[in-house]
Amino acid sequence: MSEPESDDHAATSRDVEESRQELSAALGDLEGMVRSSIDPARRITERPLPWLLGGLVLGLWLGTKR
């Protein structure tokens, strides 16, 4: 390989590595956002009253099915 080709190859390799790191960071951020948006414990602690009433209604409904 000549000198310019070697420099191009090295620059391309650095660009690819930087892109991989950026993609990895972006995927980590996305995973965190998805996990927090579907976390049932967080949703229940934010608004416990509807969950409590829903559980009560479900329990009453299941208890009267006999």
Distance in angstroms (rounded) separating the CA atoms of residues 18 and 24 = 10
- pLDDT for residue 1 is more than 60: no
Q: What is the span of the domain harbouring residue 51?
A: 3-63
pLDDT for the residue numbered 58: 95
pLDDT in tens, 30-66: 998 888 888 888 888 989 999 999 999 999 999 998 7
- pLDDT for residue 22 is more than 70: yes
Residue tagged 């190859």 (tokens) = 9
* Dihedral sign (CA 7, 11, 14, 20): negative
pLDDT for the residue numbered 2: 63
- pLDDT for residue 18 is more than 90: yes
How many domains would you assign to the chain?
Answer: 1
Which residues does 42 contact at the CB level (< 8 Å), separation at least 6? Answer: 36
pLDDT for the residue numbered 37: 82
